Amino acid sequence: MTRRDFLTGTVKAIISALVTGVTVVAAYFMYPAGLRSRTMVYCDCMDEDALPKKGVKRAEYRYTQKGREMAVGVFIVKDDSAVYALSPVCTHLGCLVNYNRHKNEFICPCHGGRYDASGKVISGPPPGPLARLPLKIENGRVYIGVMLPAAAAA
């Protein structure tokens, strides 16, 4: 082994170690701490009798996180086969959509994205459908599922 081969191998090993170290540290900091340990919490939304007979109804649920009470809007949809909850957040840039009863569709006021009553994209820039939120009905009450950090959910 020549001196040049030894130095070349040493420099390559040092660069590889540095790149690996930087990659591991960057990956650790890029992964959000809040997602590391989350748990599903169901929040009271409304009385079961207040569910729409058919169609879409805007509702609100509340939960407490880090000592602050949060109020979040949600659309409750009832069609022929199921009841489900849709997030009002547009999948394009996060604007809040509105429901137009006359057209039977959700419309984003920011960039004109349109979704049908089940949350599927009709037209515009949204890359995907409105998110479906976990919903359960127990003891005459409707509950919406929220993912919270494990410490906040306790």
Q: Where are the domains of the chain?
A: 3-31, 38-153
pLDDT of the residue at 150: 66
Q: How far apart are CA 117 and CA 107, in angstroms?
A: 10
Task: List phi, psi (to 5°) of 118.
Answer: -95, 0
pLDDT of the residue at 151: 59
Cα-based distances in Å from 143 to 45, 48, 63, 76, 78? 5, 10, 11, 11, 15
pLDDT digit string (tens) for the chain, length 154 residues? 899 999 999 999 999 999 999 998 888 777 766 556 778 888 888 888 888 888 888 988 888 877 888 888 899 998 887 888 999 999 888 889 999 988 889 999 888 889 998 889 998 898 899 999 898 989 889 898 888 776 555 4
Q: How far apart are CA 143 and CA 85, in angstroms?
A: 10
Question: Which of the listed CATH numbers 3.40.50.10490, 3.40.50.620, 1.10.260.40, 2.102.10.10 matches domain 38-153?
Answer: 2.102.10.10
Q: How far apart are CA 125 and CA 4, in angstroms?
A: 57
